[in-house]
Amino acid sequence: MGQRSYAASMSRAGRPREWDAVTYDELPLPHQSWGARLLERLPLRGDETVLDVGAGTGRDTEALLARLPRGHVIAVDGSVAMLEQLGKRLAGSERLTVKHADLREPLELDRTVDAVFSVATLHWLPDHDVVFRSLAGVLRPGGRLRVECGGAGNVAGVDRAVTGLGFPSLNRAFRFAGVADTEASLAAAGFTDIEVDLVPDPARFQAGAQLESFLATVVLGPLLDPMDPAERPGVVRRIAAALPRPEVDYVRLRMSATRA
């Protein structure tokens, strides 16, 4: 595929991308530690309703439900495959509502929520002003927001390997925001008690199949999706070989705020 058709595929406003949810769920994801750390920062009595934004296959949703023995979780994601895997993981839970939605659009829920929780999702959404207004619209006054996603400098080393091989930058597909612009977006959406920071958190993998599977499934989707499936393994192998070490150089943008 030529760079022109690749770039057009990355930039067009289509439906949310689909995932290989089964492979995703089998990987040793750093997302698990991110979710656990973020959940520690979310004070809960146990009877609240919490919105899990970008719930994926439900690993963090399951941990949320354990913290809410008398509460409820609304799990939202834009990927049908991810939500199907979540449904298998949490089948039969009466304290869970699953909702498929395009998170680039304002959320419509049948109730307000007490807290918003989101791990490794917002960097997929191009307009954070819209996202924060949407979340404020479903969060009760005084409700808490706890979010973690890729921030400024995230996967910069992987992107250098990608562009060094002649492919367009991954930054075309992501929104890696900084501290100041995130603080401004949250304040404009009606949040107070705002705390935002950037934390380097590199993830190490075994060289070879494990690293390549992680890159293909989690990091390089916007690059690989428009390619012929037969081309993808070779491209991933070349990118993995171009990295200085078997590592994905994550930088996490963490935010805490209260709905005014």
| pLDDT of amino acid 1 | 32
**pLDDT tens, per residue, the chain with 260 residues:** 333 333 333 333 445 677 777 777 676 667 778 889 999 999 999 999 999 999 999 999 999 999 999 999 999 999 999 999 999 999 989 999 999 999 989 999 999 999 999 999 999 999 999 999 999 999 999 999 999 999 999 999 999 999 999 999 999 889 999 999 999 999 999 999 999 999 999 999 999 999 999 999 889 999 999 999 999 999 999 999 999 999 999 999 999 999 99
Instruction: Give the chain as a 3 state SS string.
Output: CCHHHHHHHHHCCCCCCCCCHHHHHHCCCCHHHHHHHHHHCCCCCCCCEEEEECCCCCHHHHHHHHHCCCCEEEEEECCHHHHHHHHHHCCCCCCEEEEECCCCCCCCCCCCEEEEEEECCHHHCCCHHHHHHHHHHHEEEEEEEEEEEEECCCCHHHHHHHHHCCCCCHHHCCCCECHHHHHHHHHHCCEEEEEEEEEECCEECCCCHHHHHHHHHHHCHHHHCCCCCCCHHHHHHHHHHHCCCCEECCEEEEEEEEEC
193 backbone dihedrals φ, ψ, rounded to 5°: 50, 45
| pLDDT of amino acid 254 | 97
Where are the chain's structural domains?
14-154+174-204+250-259
Global pTM reads: 0.89
| pLDDT of amino acid 13 | 40
CB atoms within 10 A of CB 181: 14
The helix-helix angle for 232-242 and 156-164 (nearest 10°) equals: 120
Q: What CATH number has the domain spanning 14-154+174-204+250-259?
A: 3.40.50.150
| pLDDT of amino acid 7 | 36
CB 83 within 8 A of CB 56: no
